[in-house]
Amino acid sequence: MTRIALVTPMLPVSHDMTRGRYIHETARALSSLATVKVFFQQASYPRLPFVAPRSFLDGTVGEDYTIDGLDVETFTYPVLPVVSRAINGHVSSAALLPRVRSFQPDIVLAYWVYPDGYGALRTARRLGVPCVVGALGSDIHVRSGFNAFMTRQTIAGADALLTVSEAMRQTAIGTFGAKPEKVHTIVNGFNTSVFHPRDRLQMRQKLGMQADEQSVIYVGRFVEAKGMRELVTAFTRLRAERPRCRLNLVGDGVMKDELAALLQREGLGDSVRMPGGLPPEQVAEWISASDVLTLPSWSEGYPNVVVEGAACGRPVVATDVGGTREILDASNGILIPPKDPQALQTALARALDASWDHAAIAARMSRTWQDVARETLQVCEQVCAGALRPVSR
C-alpha cells in the first residue's frame, strides 16, 4: 500500500470542533485505502493578548491528542503573527522533517498552501519524495503580499495541486500561475450516515424548539469573514417583520463574545440560540430542525456545510463566492452577493416562504468521503509513478 504522510494544521479539537472536519473525513477515508500517518502541526503563539490570532480560536493540543480513525502525531512550532511570516514555512519544516523521515513515506500530502504546504514541500524535497498540496479556500482566495508570493512559490514547487472547486482551480491557474495539467479538482463529500433527511418536528421536539417557528441556521466559525455581522443585521430586520423567526448559530470562534453583545444590544437574546461547537451528529440534528441554512461568507472554497445542509434536505441561502455556485441553483437554494445585509434578508424571507422539494434537495447530494479518498489516492499514485524514486531516505 502507498505510504502517505498527510500534513495539516487543521483537525477538530476540543476548543474548536468545527475546524478541519473535512480533512478529518478525507484522512479517515484515505486510511482505508493506503497507509496514512497524519502529522498535525500547530502554530504556537506567545501567550500575549495583542498577538492572538484573529481568524481562529487560539490553543494547541498535546502529544496525547487522538481522533477517531487516524494514526496521528501532534506537535507545535513557534510563530509570531506578521513578524515570523517569512520563516514560518522553514520553521514548520524543521519540526516536521525528522518525524516524516521516521515514517518513510512514498509521498507527502499537505493541506493548506502556506506556510504548512510549503513546509511539507521542503520536507519532501529533503527526503527525495514527491509532494501534493491541497488548497482549501482562503489559502488561495484570500492571499496578499508575502503570503501571495509564498503561495505562488509553493504551487510552483508542488508535484500536483488539489483544489476543492473548479472556481478555485481557475484562481490557482489564473492568479498564481499553476500549470493546468498539475491542478486537480476534487470536491468535498459528506458523511451519508450522518447528514440525511430527518423528521423536522421530531428534531424540534428533541432540541426544545417551537413547532411553528421559522428557523434559520448558521453552522461554522464565528469570524468576520463568514459574514456574521451581515447575518445579525439581516436577522434583526427579518425578526421585526416575523416575530416567530428564530436564528440558530451553531459553532464557535473569536467573535463569540462580540456576537453575544451585539445580539443583546439589538434585543435579540431570546430569539437566537448559540449551542456552541458541536460534533457532526448533533449538527445534523440542528440543521434538520431548521427551515433554511445560511452561509453569508465573503469567500469560500467548496463550503461543506452547504453540502451538508442540502443533504439534510434543507434549502440554502449563501453568497455567490468560490465554489458555492457549483452546489446551489434555484432548485435547492438562493445565491446572493457578499457583504449585502439587505440581499441576505430578502433571500432569507423568500426561502422561508417558498415551497421546497426537500426530498429532491437531499437526493441530489450523493458524493461520499470514500469518493474523495479514491480520487485523492489516484492523484498521489500518478505522481508517485512519474516521480524519480529516492536513492536513500
Q: pLDDT tens digits for the chain (393 residues)?
A: 899 999 999 999 887 877 888 999 999 999 999 999 999 998 887 665 555 555 555 568 888 999 999 999 999 988 876 556 668 888 899 999 999 999 999 999 999 999 999 999 999 999 999 999 999 887 886 776 878 889 999 999 999 999 999 999 999 999 999 999 999 999 999 999 999 999 999 999 999 999 999 999 999 999 999 999 999 999 999 999 999 999 999 999 889 999 999 999 999 988 999 999 999 999 999 999 999 999 999 999 899 999 999 999 999 999 999 999 999 999 999 999 999 999 999 999 999 999 999 999 999 999 999 999 999 999 999 999 985 444 332
* 305 lies in some domain: yes
pTM for this predicted structure = 0.88
* 229 lies in some domain: yes
Report how far residue 77's alpha carbon sits from residue 363's, in angstroms, rounded to the nearest whole number.
44
Strands 245-252 and 333-336: what pairing? unpaired
Residues 148, 52, single domain; the answer is: yes
What residues are paired with 5 via a beta bridge? 37, 108
Report how far residue 232's alpha carbon sits from residue 217's, in angstroms, rounded to the nearest whole number.
12
* 118 grid coordinates: 510549503
Report the number of distinct structural domains present in the chain.
2
Residues 178, 237, single domain; the answer is: no
Residues 57, 134, single domain; the answer is: yes
Residues 165, 232, single domain; the answer is: no
Residues 378, 353, single domain; the answer is: no
Residues 163, 30, single domain; the answer is: yes
Q: Would you say 113 and 155 are in contact if contact means Cβ atoms under 8 Å apart?
A: yes
Report residue 237 CA to chain centroid gap: 29
* 332 lies in some domain: yes
- The backbone torsions φ and ψ at residue 13, rounded to the nearest 5 degrees and listed phi first, read -130, 165
pLDDT 10s digits, 311-344: 999 999 999 999 999 999 999 999 999 999 999 9
* 115 grid coordinates: 506556510
Which of 54, 161, 38, 41 is closest to 90 using CA atoms? 41
Query: In CATH, what number is assigned to the domain containing residue 263?
Result: 3.40.50.2000
Residues 316, 348, single domain; the answer is: yes
Beta strands of the chain (E only): which ranges?
A: 3-8, 35-44, 72-78, 107-111, 131-134, 160-163, 183-185, 214-221, 245-252, 272-276, 292-295, 316-319, 333-336
* 14 lies in some domain: yes
Q: Would you say 279 and 17 are in contact if contact means Cβ atoms under 8 Å apart?
A: yes
**DSSP characters over 81-122:** TTTTTTTHHHHHHHHHHHHHHHH--SEEEEESIIIIIHHHHH
pLDDT at 393: 29
Q: Would you say 326 and 313 are in contact if contact means Cβ atoms under 8 Å apart?
A: no
* 244 grid coordinates: 416567530
> Residue with C-alpha cell 456574521?
228
Encode 245-282: b = buried (16+ Cβ within 10 Å), e = exposed.
bbbbbbbbbbbbeebeebbeeeebeebbbbeebbebeb
Q: Would you say 62 and 94 are in contact if contact means Cβ atoms under 8 Å apart?
A: no
Total length of the chain: 393
pLDDT at 90: 86
* 392 lies in some domain: no
* Residue 343 neighbours by CB distance under 10 Å: 19
Residues 166, 213, single domain; the answer is: no
Q: Would you say 50 and 4 are in contact if contact means Cβ atoms under 8 Å apart?
A: no
* 108 lies in some domain: yes
Q: Would you say 376 and 269 are in contact if contact means Cβ atoms under 8 Å apart?
A: no
* 393 lies in some domain: no
Residues 137, 16, single domain; the answer is: yes
What range does the domain containing 255 cover? 200-363
pLDDT at 141: 67
Q: Would you say 121 and 131 are in contact if contact means Cβ atoms under 8 Å apart?
A: yes
Report how far residue 337's alpha carbon sits from residue 330's, in angstroms, rounded to the nearest whole number.
15
Residues 166, 233, single domain; the answer is: no
Residues 209, 83, single domain; the answer is: no
Residues 216, 183, single domain; the answer is: no
